[in-house]
């Protein structure tokens, strides 16, 4: 009887230890947060000026964005923490870059630690401002469908879309402030489907999931 009691106690202790180890691993990440060692390089080889955007790494994190083209005369560069306000875990499979000749490029990525989306409109002309968005809705996220050649981002009560090539825009309102946590966006915005003529989104409004849709004209 005493031996049985000891066995039960030991099994209980092992069970607690297993539970503790399991919970200490934390929630799953959006993508692999392994050490980023190599630079990411994006170029436009079909353009005679060969415009490019590079992302370098430091201490396993994305560190600096550098962009230029042949004949520009200098590299422009800024640190990613300065651009988006924090350090981010990048994975090469979850980064996209579209270079629109030598006028500007669009850099889109999601932080692997929590899935938060970012987009940055990068002008090659130093007189033009950069356009970082820390609440991007990127098709890198499998629950977000955004047509190729378009970018989207949200704020507390709206979703905005823009055509990369033309800069034409449109938007759809949620009707009220949904107070999204951009580090856990799917708690308030479950999914979207965006085309040049339509915005559809499944959004949580007052603890109830609602499907919103709007036909749009980019202008």
Share of the chain above pLDDT 90, in %: 83
pLDDT the model gives residue 27 = 57
For residue 5, is pLDDT > 50? no
Query: Do 60 and 36 form a contact (C-beta atoms < 8 A)?
Result: yes
Query: Do 175 and 111 form a contact (C-beta atoms < 8 A)?
Result: no
Look at residue 124 and give its three-state secondary structure. coil
For residue 100, list its beta bridge partners: 104
| For residues 120-135, average pLDDT | 94
* CA 108/CA 119 separation, integer angstroms: 4
* CA 185/CA 116 separation, integer angstroms: 7
Confidence of residue 16 (pLDDT cuts 50, 70, 90): very low
pLDDT the model gives residue 28 = 72
pLDDT the model gives residue 8 = 40
């Amino acid at each position: 009887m005493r031996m049985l009691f000891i066995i039960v106690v030991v099994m209980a202790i092992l069970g607690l230890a297993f539970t503790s180890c399991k919970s200490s691993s934390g929630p799953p990440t959006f993508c692999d947060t392994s050490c980023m060692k190599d630079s990411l390089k994006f170029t436009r080889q079909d353009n005679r000026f060969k415009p490019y955007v590079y992302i370098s790494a430091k201490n396993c994190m994305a560190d600096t964005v550098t962009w230029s083209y042949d004949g520009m005369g200098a590299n422009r560069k800024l640190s990613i923490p300065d651009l988006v306000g924090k350090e981010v875990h990048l994975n090469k499979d979850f980064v996209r870059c579209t270079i629109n000749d030598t006028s500007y490029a669009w850099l889109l990525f999601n932080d692997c630690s929590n899935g938060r989306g970012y987009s940055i409109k990068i002008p090659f002309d130093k007189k033009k401002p950069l356009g970082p968005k820390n609440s991007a809705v990127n098709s890198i996220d499998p629950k977000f469908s955004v047509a190729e050649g378009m970018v989207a981002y949200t704020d507390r009560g709206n979703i905005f879309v823009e055509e990369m090539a033309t800069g034409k825009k449109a938007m759809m309102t949620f009707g009220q402030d949904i107070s999204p946590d951009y580090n856990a966006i799917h708690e308030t915005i479950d999914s979207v489907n965006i085309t040049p003529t339509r915005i559809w989104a499944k959004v949580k409004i007052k603890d109830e999931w609602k499907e919103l849709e709007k036909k749009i004209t980019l202008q």
